Amino acid sequence: MIPSILPTYNRTPLSFERGEGSWLVTGDGTRYLDLGAGIAVNVLGHGHPALVGALTAQAQKVWHLSNLYEIPEQQRLADLLVAATFADTAFFTNSGTEACELAVKMARKYWHAKGSPERTDILTFDGSFHGRSSAAIAASGAEKMVKGFGPLLPGFVHLPWGDMAALKDALTPTTGAILIEPIQGEGGIRPLADADLRAIRALCDETGTLLILDEVQCGMGRTGRLFAHEFAGIAPDIMMLAKGIGGGFPLGAVLATEDAAASMVAGTHGSTYGGNPLACAVGAAVMGIVADPEFLSGVSRKAGAFRQKLEGLVAAHPDVFEEVRGAGLMLGLKCKLPCGEVVQAGFAEHLLTVPAADNVVRLLPALTISEEELAEAVARLDRAAARVSAPAEAES
Ligand SMILES: *Cc1c(COP(=O)(O)O)cnc(C)c1O
């Protein structure tokens, strides 16, 4: 019999009643150190007073208005994002998937309005993840996401990750945009070299191609910069955001330059809930904390010490781990044993991590995690690694 929840997830039999900072607590009071943060969502941890305050204060005023009216909280968040980034304008969604939908629509409308309606192709990359809508799965092209869901939205050209020669060859007169994650998340914490991102920007400039960056997972301070593309010193034309921007409240956004967004006039796109007052009040509170340069340098400092300890962990367990990769507090442990075994062993040590493709265990803690908690996480990872490499020893 089909369960009352559509069984599209492989859930771990763990149930949490409340969260406190970087800790999740079960009904019987057992505390788990959370290095998943809802898959890079809870950037300020669980129950951050500024976010609880913003949400409850807004809840007392008005929950939902509709974009038929002006929404001051939405205006405030848009102004904060525009002031802090390359962007001239923002559209708010409820998820990363919806941000992908608009990014794709915006790119196509752009070329239609420019008198080059043939430039509908969007170049994307192996291992990418952009969401679960028909457009987003077509963009990724991964077999496990698209199989059986055809016919797929046409116009996506899938390229090998990190192969700049293939990318150059793939640019044709029908190419309208390149869509890429500066650091692949679901794909296994695979960072694009800064030089490659700069080369992609240069190719876009030469050909007029729009650069769409998906910073849904790597953005919002996770790397120690507000956005990951800042390391390369370039800017996109369009950027997708979600996950961290709402700190746990459903919120996403598309940011764009004035030129890229020029054709998106009244009536071309919309959303009932997108940019609602509750989500935007929380988003503005997140931005108020995360966009602060001092907060970001704190993230980098903590991340540096954490990474050093993780390098030691890899060296201590050469039979379990291959390498540490990623940036800031978006890190992956490439495993030699199946990564799911390491994640399971982590549960036994009351440590939450997230598996990814390419046999990688993802470490995506709240950006507010303390150095002591990060050291504790490494100690738990060390015990988890001992469990999988020598189970008899660990149990004796
Ligand atoms: C999670 C994710 C998405 C999709 O976001 P949803 O909110 O789950 O729709 C898109 N792109 C990237 C890079 C992601 O990590």
Q: What atom of ligand 1 comes closest to residue 250's alpha carbon?
A: 7
Which residue is closest in CA terms to ligand 1's atom 15? 217
Instruction: Evaluate: CB of 130 within 6 angstroms of ligand 1.
Output: yes
Q: What is the pLDDT of residue 345?
A: 98
> Residue 160 gets which letter from DSSP?
-
What is the C-alpha to C-alpha distance for residues 114 and 177, in angstroms, rounded to an integer? 14
- Separation of 84 CA from ligand 1 center, angstroms? 22
- Separation of 60 CA from ligand 1 center, angstroms? 30
CB 204 within 8 A of CB 216: no
- Separation of 333 CA from ligand 1 center, angstroms? 21
Instruction: Evaluate: CB of 96 within 6 angstroms of ligand 1.
Output: yes
Instruction: Evaluate: CB of 216 within 6 angstroms of ligand 1.
Output: yes
Instruction: Evaluate: CB of 129 within 6 angstroms of ligand 1.
Output: yes
Contacts of 141 (CB under 8 A, 6+ apart): 124, 126, 128, 156, 158
Strand (E) or helix (H) holding 321: strand 321-327
pTM of this prediction exceeds 0.95: yes
Q: Is the CATH number 1.10.443.10 carried by domain 18-34+293-395?
A: no
Instruction: Evaluate: CB of 97 within 6 angstroms of ligand 1.
Output: yes
The residues of the chain scoring below 50 in pLDDT are 394-396
- Separation of 29 CA from ligand 1 center, angstroms? 31
Instruction: Evaluate: CB of 185 within 6 angstroms of ligand 1.
Output: yes
Q: What is the pLDDT of residue 176?
A: 98
Instruction: Evaluate: CB of 346 within 6 angstroms of ligand 1.
Output: no
Q: What is the pLDDT of residue 391?
A: 53
Tokens coding 29:
């009071």
Contacts of 271 (CB under 8 A, 6+ apart): 67, 92, 93, 94, 98
* Beta-carbon-side half-sphere exposure of residue 374 (alpha carbons within 13 Å): 23
Instruction: Evaluate: CB of 131 within 6 angstroms of ligand 1.
Output: yes
CB 241 within 8 A of CB 254: yes
Tokens coding 303:
């991340």
- Separation of 102 CA from ligand 1 center, angstroms? 13
- Separation of 97 CA from ligand 1 center, angstroms? 6
Domain boundaries, the chain: 18-34+293-395, 49-290
Instruction: Evaluate: CB of 145 within 6 angstroms of ligand 1.
Output: no
Q: What is the pLDDT of residue 396?
A: 45
CATH code of the domain occupying 49-290: 3.40.640.10
Instruction: Evaluate: CB of 141 within 6 angstroms of ligand 1.
Output: no
Q: What atom of ligand 1 comes closest to residue 243's alpha carbon?
A: 7
Strand (E) or helix (H) holding 78: helix 72-84
